[in-house]
């Protein structure tokens, strides 16, 4: 599978300059058609078939990642109890629940060694991508790109928070969208909040689109509705200066 996957590269001719101007003004920008159409479709198909893990946070345990086998061992009652704890935390505007594939972690652990997901991890940490992102956000010294694939199904959410890192090493947050035809009423919107926690702006997850934004702005992903027509598929992470 890995050998047959097309080379991953930015769409030829992309100029970061106009996006850099927009980011300087608003600390937010979207770059449409980041990949050529055939590559974007291949990435969508590849990501859809990942061995996902359900991720959420629990007090005293931190980040939890459950494989399908883990959930089978827990059984229906065990999973329901875990979800009850997640929802209790969410009433206090704290927590998250969605499906993940931690790309950097999987690469370090040499997990799924023949899967083309590792080509995408390498690309996101390549000079081509890091220099393109750095040019847009006006930063020098980007050393690493954290990345996780995310799959939001009905009920998935991410409550409001900021992303700056323990040592402020996260210079910019980003998403790469791979969901075509998403509708506003399906939820799953990237939302930015003002100091009164009112919604300042909200954005659809768009296909083949790179979104860059200042993670120090309060943001969230609204819960995916019970009638969403498909899952919300994306890559999310940070451009870092360590």
If you average pLDDT over residues 222-230, what whole number do you get? 98
Task: Please provide the average confidence, as pLDDT, over all residues in the chain.
Answer: 94
Q: Model confidence over 189-206: pLDDT tens digits? A: 999 999 999 999 999 999
The reported pTM is 0.94
With 0-12 CB in 10 A as exposed, 13-18 as middle and 19+ as buried, what is 114?
A: exposed
If you average pLDDT over residues 173-181, what whole number do you get? 96
Q: Model confidence over 113-126: pLDDT tens digits? A: 999 999 999 999 99
What is the model's pLDDT at position 3?
Answer: 58
What is the model's pLDDT at position 203?
Answer: 97
SS3 at position 157: strand
Which of 234, 31, 16, 12 lies closest to 139 in space, CA to CA? Answer: 16
Question: pLDDT band for position 167 (50/70/90)?
Answer: low
If you average pLDDT over residues 180-186, what whole number do you get? 96
According to DSSP H, which parts of 49-176 are helical? 68-90, 103-108, 117-124, 127-137
What is the model's pLDDT at position 223?
Answer: 97
Tokens 């598929």 locate to 233
Residues constituting the chain: 242
Beta strands 96-102 and 232-240 are unpaired
Question: pLDDT band for position 2 (50/70/90)?
Answer: low
Q: Any idea what DSSP says for residue 69?
A: H
What is the model's pLDDT at position 206?
Answer: 96
Q: Model confidence over 51-101: pLDDT tens digits? A: 999 999 988 888 999 999 999 999 999 999 999 999 999 999 999 999 999
Return the CATH fold of 17-52+95-240: Jelly Rolls (2.60.120)
| Domain extent listing, the chain | 17-52+95-240
What is the model's pLDDT at position 58?
Answer: 87
């Amino acid at each position: 599978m890995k050998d047959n996957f097309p080379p991953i590269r930015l769409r030829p001719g992309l100029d970061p300059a106009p996006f850099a101007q927009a980011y300087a003004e608003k600390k937010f920008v979207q770059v449409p058609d980041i990949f050529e159409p055939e590559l974007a479709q291949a990435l969508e198909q590849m990501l859809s078939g990942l061995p996902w893990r359900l991720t959420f946070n629990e007090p005293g345990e931190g980040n939890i990642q459950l494989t399908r086998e883990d959930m089978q061992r827990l059984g229906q009652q065990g999973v329901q109890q875990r979800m009850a704890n997640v929802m209790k935390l969410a009433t206090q505007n704290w927590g998250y629940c969605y499906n993940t594939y931690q790309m950097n972690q999987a690469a370090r652990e040499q997990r799924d060694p023949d899967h083309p997901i590792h080509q995408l991890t390498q690309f996101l940490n390549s000079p081509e991508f890091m220099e393109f992102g750095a040019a847009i956000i006006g930063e020098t010294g980007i050393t690493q790109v954290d990345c996780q694939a995310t799959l939001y199904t009905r009920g998935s959410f991410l409550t409001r928070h900021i992303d700056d890192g323990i040592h402020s090493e996260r210079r910019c947050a980003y998403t790469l969208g791979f969901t075509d035809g998403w509708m506003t009423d399906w939820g799953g919107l990237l939302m930015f909040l003002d100091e009164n926690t009112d919604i300042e702006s909200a954005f659809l997850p768009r296909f083949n689109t790179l979104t860059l934004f200042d993670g120090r702005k309060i943001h969230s992903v609204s819960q995916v509705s019970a009638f969403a027509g498909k899952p919300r598929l994306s890559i999310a992470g940070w451009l870092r200066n360590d």
